[in-house]
Amino acid sequence: MKSHYVSDLQDGQAVTSLFLVAAKEIRTSQRSGKSWLELALRDRTGSIPAKMWDNFEALAKTFEANEVIQIRGRVKLYNGQKEMTLEQIVSVAARDYELADFLAHTKFDVEKLFAELGAAVGAVRNPWIKRLLESVVNDPAIVPKLKRAPAAMSMHHAFVGGLLEHTVSLIALGRAIVAHYPELDADVLLAGIVLHDVGKIDELSYERATNYTTAGRLLGHITIGTLLVREKIKAIPGFPEPLAILIEHLILSHHGTYEFGSPSLPQTREAIALHFLDDMDSKMAAMRATLEGASGGEEWTERNPALHRALLRTDKFLGGGDSGHPAEAAAGDSSPQRTVPGGPRNSGGAR
């Protein structure tokens, strides 16, 4: 039974608990010649580096990365960051733990997210696009992966269900942007939102730890997704070739630049919109993860790897969470609780 979680660990705390080994390495100091065992320990709330300095050689042979171990150790601060010094490591049988304790997971209900996705697809008016999207979101070989896949290795939505959360968030953003720019084709944009990252279901493996599959390393999710969608389109007799090209262009261009891996630059309204919506949602999610993971009274977070900067905790900067904004003060706690990213679905559906 797991007792302590990474997010709750404090400096000086003695810890006896279960953790998943995210990384394992024996390191040697070039200066002193001393070796030590270095681990990255993880649970559903985060990860923490850990070191064992003495009598680790035999123990290191009893477990591998992606296995669950029980440790006894103590938390300390090193260069302002928490890490653990380990005193004991014990292997753990699979029957003695719940794997869900060690995998970060979307905070939203996956079935509700998937229902939101299905409702958006069901509201599509273009019959070709609707048939294409239904062939993806109703495919029994795809659905289980779509419900579990992360959206990235580490940059954003890097947890079980992250891809679905990201997609549903983009659906809400897409509705808002189409309402503001009615020249956008809502169905084409929705096709890009649903399909742009679908290749991640096979680019990444995510049973015990998120990692790249061999296909993911060799092809990448843009190529994998484009090939998957092309197969689905070919299975629909009479699918218009120009529409197929527009949809494939959304997948191929959504990273925005050659530098960031797009084989093509966005060259349609919907492709431009998709790129910037995707970029905004990923960056906001990365900020959310960093800000929610911050602890203590410091005004600044640790460096955010996606944005290459530390972030200001505005609640601390403004003094106890009151931003001083009159609208927020008037609203109080009356705002409705979100059940899915982006709030409740617009009953008007897609254009």
Treating both helix axes as pointing N-terminal to C-terminal, what angle do 269-293 and 241-253 enclose, rounded to 10 degrees? Answer: 30
pTM of the model: 0.76
User: What does the pLDDT profile of the chain (351 residues) look like in tens digits?
Assistant: 677 888 888 889 999 999 989 889 999 998 898 999 999 998 888 789 999 999 899 899 999 888 899 999 999 988 777 899 999 999 988 888 887 788 778 888 999 999 999 999 999 999 999 999 999 999 999 999 999 888 665 565 667 888 999 999 999 999 999 999 999 999 999 999 999 999 999 888 776 667 788 898 899 999 999 999 999 999 999 999 999 999 999 999 999 998 888 899 999 999 999 999 999 999 998 888 888 777 667 888 888 777 888 899 998 899 865 444 544 444 444 333 455 565 544 433 333
Q: Is the same domain home to 60 and 168? A: no
**Whole-number Å distance between alpha carbons of 226 and 12:** 51
**Whole-number Å distance between alpha carbons of 301 and 262:** 31
Residue 87: the pLDDT is 93
When divided into structural domains, the chain yields a total of: 2
Q: What angle do CA 250, 174, 159 make, to 5 degrees?
A: 80
Residue 1 lies in a domain: no
The residues facing 48 across adjacent strands are: 41
The domain that holds 27 is classified in CATH as 2.40.50.140
Q: Is the same domain home to 63 and 187? A: no
Q: Is the same domain home to 14 and 146? A: no
The count of residues in the chain is 351
Q: Which residues have CB under 8 Å from 82's CB, separation 6+? A: 9, 11, 48, 75, 76
Q: Which stretch of DSSP H or E encloses residue 110? A: helix 110-122
- Where in the sequence is the domain holding 170, given as residue range(s)? 110-285
DSSP one-letter string for 140-173 = TTTHHHHHH--S-SSSSS-SBTHHHHHHHHHHHH
Evaluate whether 69 touches 50 at the Cβ level (below 8 Å). Answer: no
The domain that holds 123 is classified in CATH as 1.10.3210
Residue at which a domain ends, from 47, 72, 102: 102
Q: Is the same domain home to 118 and 260? A: yes
Closest listed residue to residue 171, CA positions, set 147, 194, 200, 153? 194
* 75: phi then psi, degrees, rounded to nearest 5: -85, 140
Q: Is the same domain home to 84 and 126? A: no
Q: Is the same domain home to 260 and 156? A: yes
Evaluate whether 47 touches 22 at the Cβ level (below 8 Å). Answer: yes
How far apart, in Å, are the Cα atoms of 80 and each of 11, 47, 127, 271? 10, 15, 56, 42
Q: Is the same domain home to 86 and 164? A: no
Evaluate whether 164 touches 150 at the Cβ level (below 8 Å). Answer: no
Residue 169 lies in a domain: yes
**Whole-number Å distance between alpha carbons of 41 and 18:** 9
